[in-house]
Structure 1
Amino acid sequence: MTHSNVRGEGAPSGATGGISGGVGGSAPGAVPRPRDGSGSGSAGPGTAGPAGPPRRGRRRVLRWVSSVLALVILGTAGAGYLYYRYMNGSIRTDALNLGDSRLGKSKPNAFGQTPLNILLIGSDARNDKENQALGGAKDTFDGPPLADVQMLLHLSADRSNMSVVSMPRDTMIKMPKCTDTDGKVYQASRGLVQTNESLSRGGPGCTVAAWQEMTGIPIDHFMLIDFKGVVAMADAIGGVPVCVQQNVISRNSEGKGSGLKLPKGQNVIQGEQALQWLRTRYGFEDGTDIGRTHAQHMYMNSMAREFRKNAKLTNPVKLNSLAQAAIHAMVVDPDLNKIDKLFDLSMELKKVPTGRITMTTMPWVYSTREEGRVEPKPVEAEELFKMVRDDVALDGKGQPQTGASPSAAASAAPSQPPAAQAAPPARIAVLVRNATGGKDGEENKVKGRSTDVTSLLAAKGFTKAVADSQVAGEDTTLIRYAGLDQAADAQAVATALGLPASSVQRSTDVTGITLFVGKDWRTGDAPKPAAPALNKAPDSARPLNGDNDKECMEIQPGFTW
């Protein structure tokens, strides 16, 4: 794995969306698969000839032609293999996850198909002349890179749909502990930290760790791109159509802004202008990062449509240009370190029609703790993350799921049906843990709740129930058990409390039957009934369909010409 030269090399991830449109799929057209060169076809010319014994001169000519043909075929195959190796050698990688938390893999569906989650990261790194020439004040040169664009791409298990969830760069989150591959440790933050700082805490692997801890979504891969990568990708495809409702110029009285200048209506942008579009905040909508995120979604959808039009095998020159631009633009995780792997990934992504791609923004509210910043919107942000965890299409065209999402530990060890009859309640040991603070944190827990629920269990005959001194955080009440011999007893506890079967999970995080009293059971003798599962992204996520080519960016007052 190459690692030392990629810190901070990434950027607005709009260009990365090109992979979903078929950049990776173009690689085989431009990058031949290696061949062994045997059976080069020389036997055909060498054996062709009249039925009778050929004359000596004619045989010599045929032998010479055969040798030339063999040399050409072998030479072509060899050149293809060398190019293939060159392209493989151009792929830059970095560690996938630098955090301590491990969620395992996404769960397969009933048909054995598994969803795929890819984090697209755009860095503002200005650590070389090309990136420095493309934007930013000189005082930012060679500084720590920031993950100014973060988009989680979810490919459904059945490959019928794709969901993208963006997190605004001004989002305040708790940063996890991250350990760089060189051994440097970045301790977990005590308070809230702006999400784009994750990249400077060891690299993209820390951005992945932050997303996993916040959302509970296992991330399989990441792709990171920088300023010059965006420009190269936009140039390679020949431009991306975008639309503005008025003439726009992104420059305020203090000289701040991306410098984007476009006339009203549709424009085809490429090169540096594409980068300006993706970086524009002053001039779009309300002048915040929220408007910029919407513009990035418009660009990615449009770019995906353009790739579908342009990435055809009939244009090898174009394919070669697209393939090289994609490879040189990105840094990826080690599991994507070969052309073959990127090709296979692109083939999976290309199965989704653009009409089933849904771009969303994490529901947010303005922070009361950090002025001018935002935080995940209570309830609705978690609902969106849960839909992704449960592989529910965000466009409302899929089937809703029921039941609670498994925790990180439980997802690595799925539930098993009870293997035997449950013991009498008086013989079942249950540890009751207070998790009423939910995912929001321990400080919001209801004091004494584990003791109250322990008493409730004792009244139902579970006299071995004990209140745990430890606390946890769960949005829904769960019962976890360690071994198969405990499954029936755990289910008996759930039945006694009126909990659904889906709340019982096998987990490597516990040693016995443990009841996690969640945020849904802060008072009373039973948890609050679960709300019906969503089958469509909430309006606060501002969903945008991939086939929507009529979307036109609203312009902020004072930024027209």
Structure 2
Amino acid sequence: MTHSGAQREGTRPGARRAREVSGEDGSGRGGSGGGGHREPRQPRRKHRLLRWSATTLAVLILGTAGAGYLYYQHLNGNIQKGERSSGDSKARRTGPNAAGQTPMNILLIGSDSRNSDENVALGGSRDSRGNPPLGDVQMLIHLSADRESAAVVSIPRDTRVDIPACKDPETGDTYPATNNIINTSLARGGPGCTLATWENLTGVYIDHWMTIDFAGVVKMADAIGGVEVCVNQNVWDRPLPGVPGGSGLKLTAGRKKVEGKQALQWLRTRHAWGSDPLRARAQHMYMNSMIRTLKDQNVFTSGGRLMDLAEAATRSLKVSEEIGTVKKLYDLGMQLKTVPTDRITMTTMPTVQDSEDANHLLPDGADAEKMWTMIRDDVPFDAKGSKARPRQTASTEKTTKDPAAEDDQIGVLVQNATRSSTLGPVSGRAGAIARALVGEGFARAAPDTSAALSEERTLVRYPSAELEGDAQAVAKSLGIPVSSVQKSTDVSGVTVVVGGDWRTGTTYPKQSAPKAGDLPSTSDAINGSDTSRCMNVYEPYRW
């Protein structure tokens, strides 16, 4: 309809003007009458010209639409996809707020894969070609339910954590649960295993993952056109006697724009900053600067810039399958775009040195759990947000409609998981809570006498849907919130896991609601609008 309408609007005025110029009166004769000299028949030629132009325009419109569709399909074809979770995860999705909005969590993984010539050239270590990749950069991006703020939390790659049993969806290989540094999770079942590891560590449900390798970082940095970074001293991250490796980053002091390979060097530098947590700080500074650059470029309203970024992004990223189309990635980008830079907070999970290996780190119990609680409860990391929504308690949360069995018929196993990254286990906790349950009428409650476990927060787990009501009844009797009742294949019946947050007493302690901006001082928070940050260079790497 649009095409035919355009033709009609284009031909009628032209025909009228042709009659006026030629003096035609509509009878086919000249206006002077008789057999006088006839003027050349311009109107017919103009008619033909206009019809040709309209036809050409229609072909161009259809051709452009076809090319656009083909380009869209081309971009979709660029995207690599994978299974969202390939490990046993216990996290539950956060429910909607009063306005029906839900937060979104995305795990960004930087892979050190050297399984291509390009990645070997950029990353070195030719002897590791073909080895399973490690996830050396891991960041959780939390987009608030109202889409007014965002939080980013990094976990340093050498942090020792529990990695669940995983199955690689591409090879079918299975890996048993283990306790190792978190960057090895990528090699034990792909990004889906890393996602499950994060979920079990944090209790945060993660909606999507994205991975990017060395070559992808270079492509994205080039498409953006460079990102400004800052160092307080000249830096050269190079091998030193007794300290091999180094990214090769070499910059003079001050503010510099890095792109391509140099951007990758900035993100990979560790020795010159002095530690892995400080490398996370440098990465956060880069990301904040990149976000500001993209907003300044207004790429979402610039067709050419958007196409450059779309090409680079679809060739650089591998994503979980539920966001594996250009449209879904674009929609995700538009949601992230709505967050002002001064409402973005970059942080690193608080850690302590691992007593078993000085080169490794452990989550810093209470401080780390406080950050995860803020994310689970969708509390803004900055103080500009509204107050935290009231936390649900055992008396206010919705419970399953499936009725529980009689209390004295519910079998309950109680595990002592009070050992934390910084504190040893509290002996006798499983027995104390089991006796308290018996006193509440759960006659079949008993302690698990196996070795002490480690869990930062107390949970009630159940293996299948028909036991959910039983698990909730047990939780209610102890004052444990229903949000801490989780389905898990790790247990064979209702199991109370007494965590590091419940080291004394037989009634679960009330947890105070976290406040907006109340981050642990050890989180190394950086606001997205802060342009004053510069990295200090560890003295051996100055020049």
TM-score range, shorter chain: 0.7 to 0.9
CA–CA distance in 1 between the matches of 2:254 and 2:357? Answer: 37
> Does 1:281 pair with 2:270?
yes
Residues 394-405 of structure 1: pairs in structure 2 closer than 5 A:
394-398=381-385, 399-401=387-389, 403=391
Report the CA distance between 1:297 and its aligned residue: 0.6
Deviations 1:138-162 (A, max 9, x none): 2223322111100010101111111
> Does 1:217 pair with 2:204?
yes
Letter in 2 for 1:559: Y
Letter in 1 for 2:344: I
Of 139, 145, 157, which residue of structure 2 is paired with 1:169? 157
CA–CA distance in 2 between the matches of 1:504 and 1:95? Answer: 26
CA–CA distance in 2 between the matches of 1:259 and 1:504? Answer: 47
Give the direction of change, closer, same or farther, for the CA distance of 1:437–1:552 in structure 2 (3 Å limit). same
CA–CA distance in 2 between the matches of 1:488 and 1:173? Answer: 27
Of 414, 429, 433, which residue of structure 2 is paired with 1:434? 414
> Does 1:260 pair with 2:249?
yes
CA–CA distance in 2 between the matches of 1:174 and 1:45? Answer: 71
Report the CA distance between 1:57 and its aligned residue: 4.5
Aligned to 2:81: 93
Give the direction of change, closer, same or farther, for the CA distance of 1:39–1:290 in structure 2 (3 Å limit). farther
Report the CA distance between 1:65 and its aligned residue: 2.2
Question: Using CA pairs below 8 Å that are at least 6 residues apart, which structure has the higher relative contact order?
Answer: 1
Deviations 1:265-293 (A, max 9, x none): 11111111111111111211xx2212211
Residues 49-68 of structure 1: pairs in structure 2 closer than 5 A:
49-50=14-15, 56-68=44-56
Aligned to 1:317: 304
Report the CA distance between 1:533 and its aligned residue: 2.9
Give the direction of change, closer, same or farther, for the CA distance of 1:537–1:77 in structure 2 (3 Å limit). same
CA–CA distance in 1 between the matches of 2:485 and 2:129? Answer: 50
CA–CA distance in 1 between the matches of 2:285 and 2:442? Answer: 59
Give the direction of change, closer, same or farther, for the CA distance of 1:432–1:281 in structure 2 (3 Å limit). same
Letter in 1 for 2:65: A
Give the direction of change, closer, same or farther, for the CA distance of 1:373–1:282 in structure 2 (3 Å limit). same
Report the CA distance between 1:204 and its aligned residue: 1.4
Aligned to 1:152: 140
Residues 512-523 of structure 1: pairs in structure 2 closer than 5 A:
517-523=498-504
Give the direction of change, closer, same or farther, for the CA distance of 1:221–1:39 in structure 2 (3 Å limit). farther
Shifted more, 43-52 versus 203-212: the winner is 43-52
Deviations 1:106-162 (A, max 9, x none): 321121101111010101111212112112232223322111100010101111111
Residues 166-315 of structure 1: pairs in structure 2 closer than 5 A:
166-182=154-170, 184-190=172-178, 192-254=179-241, 256-284=245-273, 287-312=274-299, 315=302
CA–CA distance in 1 between the matches of 2:407 and 2:132? Answer: 58
CA–CA distance in 1 between the matches of 2:229 and 2:160? Answer: 30
Residues 90 and 487, structure 2, Cα contact 8 Å, conserved in 1: no
Report the CA distance between 1:370 and its aligned residue: 2.1
Give ranges in structure 1 of 5+ residues lacking alignment. 1-35, 407-413
Give the direction of change, closer, same or farther, for the CA distance of 1:473–1:147 in structure 2 (3 Å limit). closer
Shifted more, 298-307 versus 167-176: the winner is 167-176
Aligned to 1:45: 10
CA–CA distance in 2 between the matches of 1:264 and 1:102? Answer: 47
Secondary structure of 2:229's counterpart equals strand
Give the direction of change, closer, same or farther, for the CA distance of 1:104–1:79 in structure 2 (3 Å limit). same
CA–CA distance in 1 between the matches of 2:447 and 2:537? Answer: 56
CA–CA distance in 2 between the matches of 1:111 and 1:276? Answer: 44
Shifted more, 161-170 versus 131-140: the winner is 131-140
Report the CA distance between 1:494 and its aligned residue: 4.2
Aligned to 2:507: 526
Letter in 1 for 2:223: A
Give the direction of change, closer, same or farther, for the CA distance of 1:378–1:39 in structure 2 (3 Å limit). farther
Secondary structure of 1:181's counterpart equals coil
CA–CA distance in 2 between the matches of 1:432 and 1:377? Answer: 30
CA–CA distance in 1 between the matches of 2:162 and 2:460? Answer: 27
Secondary structure of 1:151's counterpart equals strand
Deviations 1:179-231 (A, max 9, x none): 122453332244x2121112222321221121112111111111111111111
Count of matched residue pairs: 507
Residues 414 and 498, structure 2, Cα contact 8 Å, conserved in 1: yes
Aligned to 2:533: 551
RMSD of equivalent CA atoms: 3.6
Give the direction of change, closer, same or farther, for the CA distance of 1:61–1:343 in structure 2 (3 Å limit). same
Residues 433 and 517, structure 1, Cα contact 8 Å, conserved in 2: no
Letter in 1 for 2:120: Q
Aligned to 1:467: 446
Give the direction of change, closer, same or farther, for the CA distance of 1:324–1:445 in structure 2 (3 Å limit). same
CA–CA distance in 2 between the matches of 1:347 and 1:550? Answer: 27
Give the direction of change, closer, same or farther, for the CA distance of 1:485–1:147 in structure 2 (3 Å limit). closer
CA–CA distance in 2 between the matches of 1:62 and 1:559? Answer: 71
Q: Give aligned-pair identity as a percent.
A: 42
Give the direction of change, closer, same or farther, for the CA distance of 1:453–1:209 in structure 2 (3 Å limit). closer
CA–CA distance in 2 between the matches of 1:38 and 1:427? Answer: 73
Residues 107 and 114, structure 1, Cα contact 8 Å, conserved in 2: yes
Give the direction of change, closer, same or farther, for the CA distance of 1:104–1:455 in structure 2 (3 Å limit). closer
Secondary structure of 1:193's counterpart equals strand
Secondary structure of 1:110's counterpart equals coil
Letter in 2 for 1:530: Q
Residues 418 and 503, structure 2, Cα contact 8 Å, conserved in 1: no
> Does 1:124 pair with 2:112?
yes
Give the direction of change, closer, same or farther, for the CA distance of 1:383–1:39 in structure 2 (3 Å limit). farther
Give the direction of change, closer, same or farther, for the CA distance of 1:270–1:526 in structure 2 (3 Å limit). same
Letter in 1 for 2:370: E
Residues 399 and 472, structure 2, Cα contact 8 Å, conserved in 1: no
> Does 1:133 pair with 2:121?
yes
Residues 222 and 259, structure 2, Cα contact 8 Å, conserved in 1: yes
> Does 1:75 pair with 2:54?
no
Give ranges in structure 2 of 5+ residues lacking alignment. 20-25, 29-42
Residues 490 and 504, structure 1, Cα contact 8 Å, conserved in 2: no
> Does 1:329 pair with 2:296?
no
TM-score by length of 2: 0.82
